[in-house]
Amino acid sequence: MPKQDFDTLDYMGPVVVGVLFTVFLFLVSFLFINFFCITKHDDVTAFERIAARHNMRMGPHSLAVVKRGNFYEEDESYVSEA
């Protein structure tokens, strides 16, 4: 059986797969988790804090809430006064 010769392009396969996996993981964590799994009653996320520095909204909280640093309290009846 003859010896295989690899080009430089052949060695780039694992790098390309790693980059694609990283991009996919970032998109899933950003789009799915940040917009669908986090409600406005949850804490402010890191994506929202970073985007608020550039006056962009990247999550369920408004810019005012993110810059203030806490979560949105529309209904305070669930907060106990202990």
Q: Does a structural domain hold residue 26?
A: no
Domain count for the chain, please give it: 1
Tell me, yes or no, whether 28 lies in a domain.
no
For residue 56, is it within any domain?
Answer: yes
Cα–Cα distance for residue pair 19/35, rounded to 1 Å: 23
pLDDT at 76 over 60: no
Q: Has residue 60 been placed in a domain? A: yes
Is 1 a member of any domain? no
Cα radius of gyration rounded to whole Å, the chain: 22
For residue 4, is it within any domain?
A: no
pLDDT digits (tens, 9 = 90+) for 15-62: 999 999 999 998 888 888 878 888 888 888 888 888 899 998 888 888
The residue range of the domain holding 64 is 38-75
Q: Is residue 62 included in any domain, yes or no?
A: yes
Longest dimension (CA), the chain: 79
